[in-house]
Amino acid sequence: MKFLAVTALLPLLASALPRGGPMAKRQTDIPPFTVTSSRSGSPIHLLPLQAAGQSFWLGGSPATYCPTGEGLECPPGKETVIVGASSLDVEVPGGQIIYVNPSGALSFSQAHSASIPPGSSVGPFQYQPGQPFGHWSFTGLNTTGFMACPQPQGNTTQWRVYAATPKATVPTGNVNDCLGFDALAVPWKSNYTAAAWQYI
């Protein structure tokens, strides 16, 4: 009889479990943060890290989405914010994790899916607190951080972020074109429970 009572409660208990997004923020001692690149005397110095197209870039704007619905208040979606060192700060159920794909590119999972490409690395991503900012790094795949690789787009150059590994498959085909950088972690404060509904 007790067994039946407990099994009847299992669906309720499962629905109460955190599913990422704002709940992840409440369950970690790592504060949400944005990332700014630091490499003096370079074209990538002090550019914000932005999530767009399931990838990460230095400079530009994030790509975000929020569904429309009565009573739904969308977060601003104007910054890329990381929570818990390895997830995006989103409200979408299930959250969105950060990983390094098989080519070495820093990537993030699609909303509503935990699927990532075979051969990807989910970490470790590390956050080190500091004043006035901390540092964020990736130490998987025998690397010690990140690099930004140029990706020409017409008359402009975009900088796609990769794990700093000589084995990365980069847009120009030459990893020596990439610039290593320090990822400065800047605390993010807001009245919203998350930075975006989801990144796309």
Q: What is the pTM of this model?
A: 0.85
Percentages (nearest 5) of helix, strand, coil residues in the chain: 15, 35, 50
Other Cβ atoms within 10 Å of 95 Cβ, number: 25
pLDDT digits (tens, 9 = 90+) for 39-53: 999 999 999 999 999
Question: Residue 76: how many CA atoms within 13 Å on its side-chain side?
Answer: 12
SS3 54: coil
SS3 176: helix
pLDDT digits (tens, 9 = 90+) for 99-113: 999 999 999 999 999
pLDDT digits (tens, 9 = 90+) for 70-90: 778 899 999 999 999 999 999
Look-up of token digits 């020409």: 152
SS3 57: strand
